[in-house]
């Protein structure tokens, strides 16, 4: 890595906030952070980061800048701001969930300015971000992966080299696609079981003992579908739609049919249109059971 060895972090939200705190407290490096939310930035500064005045301010001081942003749209915009600095960073690590094709195009664009883009999207839940036990799939050269692995290990317990730029996004997007389809199947199971007179909590607890067991069943279904609890500001329906759209676009680009994922997308869109856009997306069960928001 560069001798400057100052880290930057832009995007301090639900996932980026705890990730950045783990990075600054565990890495031993100076870090400058920035977010449009003063409250979010305050928390990271309290943990030991320097307060950035802007994205460009971060770029001027940091050799490596980590991003945790809502989508490729924001990633492209922030990357443009980073490149506009007099002394831009040498490496940008995008830890957002982003479009594969646009990620690779962005990599080619920033490379013209001597900046290297790495994609390192994260998987697992918000608690894993707090605990530093995320799964991080990395698209980079083998040499860059080796360089960044100690820093990424401050935020994740499983760091996987997925291949060249964009490959980390491929694995993350497909992980989410499988999760959404699994929740769809579990929601259907709840609807059928309930209609047939079986308690949903008992149903799911029993499924964990058989071959239907899964991480999604134990971590998501038992805390949401089993107890009919779908909190807002967790991972809302509109976020699930955004991520599943990335998988469907990738499938279209590669010419692969996706009948099952298409069905899940239609259900998620119907859930959003019924008024459940901000609830945790397993609320899709309401539509399976014939419910709509009044």
Which residues have a Cβ under 8 Å from the Cβ of 176 and sit 6 or more positions away? 97, 123, 240, 243, 244, 246, 247
Which amino acids are annotated catalytic?
172
CA distance 192 to 202: 13
Using DSSP's 3-state secondary structure scheme, residue 57 falls into: helix
Unique residue bearing structure tokens 């590669």: 254
Which residues have a Cβ under 8 Å from the Cβ of 130 and sit 6 or more positions away? 18
CA distance 29 to 23: 8
118 strand-pairing partners: 93
Which residues have a Cβ under 8 Å from the Cβ of 198 and sit 6 or more positions away? none
| Nearest CA among 125, 126, 151 for reference residue 138 | 151
Instruction: Judge contact between 218 and 278, C-beta under 8 A.
Output: no
Instruction: Judge contact between 94 and 75, C-beta under 8 A.
Output: yes
């Amino acid at each position: 890595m560069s001798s400057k060895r100052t880290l930057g972090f832009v995007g301090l939200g639900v996932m980026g906030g705890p990730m950045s705190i783990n990075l600054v407290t565990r890495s031993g490096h100076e870090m400058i952070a920035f977010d449009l939310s003063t409250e979010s930035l305050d928390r990271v500064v309290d943990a030991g980061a320097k307060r950035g005045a802007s994205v460009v301010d971060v770029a001027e001081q940091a050799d490596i800048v980590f991003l945790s942003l809502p989508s490729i749209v924001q990633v492209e915009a922030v990357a443009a701001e980073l490149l506009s600095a007099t002394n831009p960073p040498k490496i940008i690590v995008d830890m957002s969930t982003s479009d594969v094709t646009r990620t690779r195009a962005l990599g080619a664009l920033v490379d013209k300015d001597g900046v290297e883009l790495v994609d390192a999207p994260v998987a697992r839940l918000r608690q894993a971000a707090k605990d530093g036990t995320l799964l991080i799939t990395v698209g980079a050269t083998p040499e860059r992966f080796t360089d960044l692995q100690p820093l990424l290990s401050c935020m994740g317990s499983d760091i996987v080299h997925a291949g060249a730029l964009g490959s980390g996004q491929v694995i993350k997007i497909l992980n989410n696609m499988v999760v959404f389809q699994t929740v769809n199947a579990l929601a259907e199971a709840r609807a059928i079981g309930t209609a047939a007179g079986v308690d949903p909590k008992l149903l799911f607890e029993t499924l964990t003992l058989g071959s239907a067991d899964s991480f999604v069943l134990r971590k998501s279904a038992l805390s949401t579908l089993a107890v009919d609890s779908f909190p807002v500001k967790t991972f809302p329906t509109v976020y699930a739609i955004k991520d599943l759209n990335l998988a469907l676009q990738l499938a279209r680009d590669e010419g692969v049919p996706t009948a099952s994922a298409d069905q899940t997308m239609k259900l998620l869109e119907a859930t959003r249109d019924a008024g459940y856009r901000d609830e945790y997306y397993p609320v899709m069960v309401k539509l399976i059971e014939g419910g709509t928001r009044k």
